[in-house]
Structure 1
Amino acid sequence: MSTATPPVRHQMPPAARKARRRSAVLGVVTWIAGIAFCMPALWMLLTSFHSEADAATNPPSLAASLTLDGYRQFFNGGGGAEPWPPLINSLLASTLSTVLVLVLALPAAYALSIRRVPKWTDVMFFFLSTKMLPVVAGLLPIYLFAKNAGMLDNVWLLVILYTSMNLPIAVWMMQSFLADVPVSIIEAAQVDGARLPTVLARVVAPVVGPGIAATALICFIFSWNELLFARVLTGVVAQTAPVYLTGFVTSQGLFLAQLCAASVIVSLPVLAAGYAAQDKLVQGLSLGAVK
């Protein structure tokens, strides 16, 4: 009479158990850090659905009744002015400046990575050095220039400024992306008679498409969120969305619920752009990371 052999239980090695516990602890810490990082945005979203009386309580109440009054007042011009012109100005300045940055940065990055100009490292350092000057240090000269040129309160001035501000960052990012483009495919296109514009548009751009998308998204976010130049150089006609948000801080006090509702609306274009390009953003930021 045979007896069944009990199954052999393989015990996990101590090193594997230790690595598994470490991974679990790291996962918990990551979740806690992620939630803590998102808490201000979540709190702003919750406050936007409160009344002004509930939003001003200290400490704030999580069980306060929810209302859409903040959003109604935003769309009805509760901040003292219509919200649509600032939103359109921000969209126009951010989009046009981003397009100009890409048009200028792609040939520059091509010259610095594939067809490298002499002393290209010095050129890259020059681009980087332009970001070392504090923005406020150049505010007065730019203001005087805009005043003498009659360009104050003009959205086209913001387009020029945002283009010049984001161009060094775009060149640095795209130079690293283009450095990974195989030279053989460019040479093959040139053998077939393709000129430089054709090479850039039909050969280089499709290969580094994720990198271009990542660069465009970052430049768009920087332009959309810029406040200092827009606050000083614009008035009513070219007012942007961040400047419009400052109108909720008045001598009568801080309209917190309306401000949070307006902030949510102003953040939606950036969130939508980031969501639409999230796969390209991840590919672009990791392009060339693994050889």
Structure 2
Amino acid sequence: MGVVSTFKWSQVAWTVLTYVLVFLLVFPVLWMILTAFKTEVAAITIPPTLLFQPTLDQFGLALSSGFAAYLFNSLVASLVSTALALVLGIPAAYAMVFVMSQKSSNDMLFFVLSTRFMPFAAILVPLYVIITRLNLLDNLFILIVVYTAMNLPLIIWMARSYFLDLPKEVLEGAWLDGCSTLQTIVRVVIPMAAPGLAAAALLSIIFAWNDFFFAVTLTYTNSPTLPIMVAAFTSNEGLFLAKVSALATMIIIVPVAIGIYAQKHLVQGLTGGALK
């Protein structure tokens, strides 16, 4: 009985510790959402007030500050770049697993991942010069190209890991039935690897959606994204804390909604290929 009692108390302790850690991680987000419903005066009150009259004024101010245009740019840049990365990355991962030799595949994978080893700041100056010479600065197209290149190694890496778990007998059956490489990818590989590809696509969207580094450097007035809008709320008058919290709350709705919807695929995709 003593061992059982100790085991139960150990489970309780680990459960309590888990809840405490989760609360510490989630608390800043909850506080931000709470602040979004305050007035600016209530938001900067010290000590902070927990009891206040909720208001939607800050959301109205954020929406009236050109939110729709920033939202459109973020959606287009994130979704289009992710789609392009999938179109380019899935065939590349397929070739690494089913066409190349293992040594060539490993060398190619290392080369692809090595593009992410270098800090983004190291490539910013030459990238900025090239884009300026091409007269593509402050253009949504160039932002899509940059995000595609940024997320392509992630797509290839995750897709390759998941393709390694696919039963080759099914693929061989498709080949015997006369399917071309494109037909095999579209009709067999993608449906079977859907959870892993969904996880890769979700992460790609989130990385592009949250990017501030490239967006603030390569865009000005024609194609700024939502993170740029958040930074624009800092002025000579100070930081509008309640307004920024309202805007940030609206910004996180998209990735949170996608994450909740694709939670099952995300877990399966991130754990798929783990043994490889």
TM interval, short-chain normalised:
over 0.9
Report the Cα distance in structure 1 between the residues aligned to 2:231 and 2:275, rounded to whole angstroms.
44
Contact 2:58–2:242 under 8 Å retained in 1: yes
Contact 2:36–2:58 under 8 Å retained in 1: yes
Q: In structure 1, the residue corresponding to 2:50 is in which secondary structure?
A: coil
Q: In structure 1, the residue corresponding to 2:222 is in which secondary structure?
A: coil
Q: In structure 2, the residue corresponding to 1:119 is in which secondary structure?
A: helix
User: Does 2:243 match 1:258?
Assistant: yes
Contact 2:161–2:274 under 8 Å retained in 1: no
Measured against aligned partners, the alpha-carbon deviations of 1:99-119 in whole angstroms (never above 9, x if no partner) come to 011111111111222333452
Give the residue type in structure 1 aligned to 2:34: L
Show structure 1 runs of 4+ deviating over 6 A.
none
User: How far did residue 289 of structure 1 move?
Assistant: 4.2
Q: Which structure carries more helix by proportion?
A: 2
1:95 equivalent among 74, 79, 88? 79
Give the residue type in structure 1 aligned to 2:168: V
User: How far did residue 223 of structure 1 move?
Assistant: 0.3
Q: How many pairs does the alignment contain?
A: 275
Please tell me whether Structure 1 or Structure 2 has the larger radius of gyration of its CA atoms: 1
Q: How does 1:228-239 map to 2 (within 5 A)?
A: 228-239=213-224
Report the Cα distance in structure 2 between the residues aligned to 1:19 and 1:204, rounded to whole angstroms.
45
Tell me, which stretches of 5 or more residues in structure 2 are unaligned? none
Measured against aligned partners, the alpha-carbon deviations of 1:149-203 in whole angstroms (never above 9, x if no partner) come to 0101100101100000011111111111000001111010000000001100110
CA RMSD, Structure 1 to Structure 2 (Å): 1.3
Report the Cα distance in structure 2 between the residues aligned to 1:189 and 1:174, rounded to whole angstroms.
20
TM-score, length of structure 1 as denominator length: 0.91
User: Does 2:99 match 1:115?
Assistant: yes
Tell me, which stretches of 5 or more residues in structure 1 are unaligned? 1-11
2:259 equivalent among 274, 278, 282? 274
User: Does 2:11 match 1:23?
Assistant: yes
Report the Cα distance in structure 2 between the residues aligned to 1:59 and 1:178, rounded to whole angstroms.
54
- What is the aligned partner in structure 1 of residue 130 from structure 2? 145
Contact 2:162–2:196 under 8 Å retained in 1: yes
- What is the aligned partner in structure 2 of residue 104 from structure 1? 88
State the percentage of identical aligned residues.
38
Report the Cα distance in structure 2 between the residues aligned to 1:100 and 1:76, rounded to whole angstroms.
32
Q: How does 1:156-195 map to 2 (within 5 A)?
A: 156-195=141-180
Measured against aligned partners, the alpha-carbon deviations of 1:98-156 in whole angstroms (never above 9, x if no partner) come to 00111111111112223334522111111121111110111111111111101011001
User: Does 2:225 match 1:240?
Assistant: yes
Give the residue type in structure 2 aligned to 1:59: P
Report the Cα distance in structure 2 between the residues aligned to 1:191 and 1:98, rounded to whole angstroms.
32
User: Does 2:22 match 1:34?
Assistant: yes
- What is the aligned partner in structure 1 of residue 195 from structure 2? 210
Measured against aligned partners, the alpha-carbon deviations of 1:221-265 in whole angstroms (never above 9, x if no partner) come to 000000011101101110101011101110111000000000111
Report the Cα distance in structure 2 between the residues aligned to 1:19 and 1:110, rounded to whole angstroms.
47
2:114 equivalent among 129, 136, 141? 129
